[in-house]
């Protein structure tokens, strides 16, 4: 999707996560124990601020393009709003300028599943040698449903049974979709930290660019010289096209250079992670145009 022979890619683990950058599972030097819930609640703006500090450390003063999907799209927007002088172009994919009430609600279900697990121990599970695996798995299952569309679920699973010829009239995974979700939950537990899940989902909930600028979304981009390409997917009900259009209208209101593409697909929110030829062509075309405008053509 992105030509690494032409572009130098920087991919930073987010603040509050569990894949490298400091998060609640890391050790608090003052106590010698994992931070757990004493780790400060962070925002998408904090994530971007940490990324900006990294670029300053590396001696990089501007970025050709900031691109991302979902929470990555939020970061792409935050970059353009907070550091417009550093961002030549921004590509938010399957994202929005704020998290909706529906999305906050789904996140809360996941967080409550984690916190209801007896092994969560008020967030101190690492110090006690325990792990809230069941709660985290349920949180992942609930979230994963939102990444897909009804059409995608029907196409992939329908009402097909899992390794049996008839339903059992019990509570085993009779249907393939049930088995799939259980697998998604159990494998996620092996690679993610429960407290990081709490912190990252909360950061997404708090994301609201308009609120950071007196309730005006256009004000977040006033005077911007960045170029934008906003991309949405027809079957994405987690971040629907209507929210992308709201963003485009705000950018148009301040005469920003913005293009918008709605891609027809049945793959739902997850489409930006899958093989979507129109997405690839859109990105290639936009980046090529930006490169030509900046005099970077070969």
The three-class DSSP label of residue 220 is helix
- Within 10 angstroms of residue 252's Cβ, the number of other Cβ atoms is 12
- The secondary structure of the chain in percent helix, strand, coil, rounded to multiples of 5, reads 50, 10, 40
Token digits of residue 278: 């129109």
Q: Alpha-carbon distance 174 to 166, whole Å? A: 8
159 burial level (CB within 10 Å; 0-12, 13-18, 19+): exposed
| CA-wise closest residue to 193 among 125, 128, 91 | 125
Select which of 174, 235, 269, 270 is catalytic: 269
Beta bridge partners of 208: 98
Helices (H), the chain: 44-58, 71-82, 101-116, 133-147, 150-156, 176-189, 194-206, 241-253, 277-293
Select which of 193, 236, 244, 270 is catalytic: 236
269 is catalytic: yes
Select which of 70, 226, 235, 244 is catalytic: 70
190 is catalytic: no
Q: Alpha-carbon distance 137 to 157, whole Å? A: 20
- Within 10 angstroms of residue 121's Cβ, the number of other Cβ atoms is 16
Q: How many residues are recorded in the chain?
A: 298
270 is catalytic: no
Supply the residues annotated as catalytic. 70, 236, 269
């Amino acid at each position: 999707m992105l030509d690494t022979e032409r572009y130098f890619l920087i991919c930073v683990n987010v603040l509050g996560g569990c894949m490298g950058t400091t998060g609640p599972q890391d050790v608090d030097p003052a106590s010698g124990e994992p931070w757990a819930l004493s780790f400060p609640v962070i925002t998408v703006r904090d994530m971007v601020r940490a990324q900006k500090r990294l670029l300053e450390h590396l001696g990089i003063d501007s970025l050709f393009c900031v691109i991302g999907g979902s929470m990555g799209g939020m970061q792409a927007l935050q970059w353009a709003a907070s550091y417009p002088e550093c961002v030549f172009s921004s590509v938010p994919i399957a994202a929005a300028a704020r998290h909706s009430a529906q999305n906050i609600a789904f996140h809360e279900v996941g967080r409550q599943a984690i916190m209801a697990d007896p092994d969560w121990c008020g967030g101190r599970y690492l110090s006690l040698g325990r792990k809230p695996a069941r709660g985290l798995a349920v949180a992942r299952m609930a979230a994963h449903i939102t990444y897909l569309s009804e059409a995608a679920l029907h196409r992939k699973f329908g009402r097909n049974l899992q390794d049996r010829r008839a339903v059992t009239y019990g509570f085993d995974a009779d249907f393939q979709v049930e088995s799939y979700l259980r697998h998604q939950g159990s494998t996620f537990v092996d690679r993610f930290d429960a407290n990081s899940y709490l912190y990252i989902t909360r950061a997404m909930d708090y994301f609201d660019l308009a609120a950071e600028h007196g309730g005006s979304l256009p004000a977040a981009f006033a005077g911007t010289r960045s170029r934008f390409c906003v991309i949405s997917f027809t079957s994405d009900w987690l971040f629907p096209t209507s929210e992308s259009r709201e963003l485009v209208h705000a950018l148009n209101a301040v005469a920003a250079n913005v293009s918008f593409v709605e891609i027809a697909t049945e793959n739902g929110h997850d489409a930006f992670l899958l093989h979507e030829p129109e997405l690839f062509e859109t990105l290639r075309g936009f980046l090529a145009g930006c490169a030509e405008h900046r005099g970077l053509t070969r």
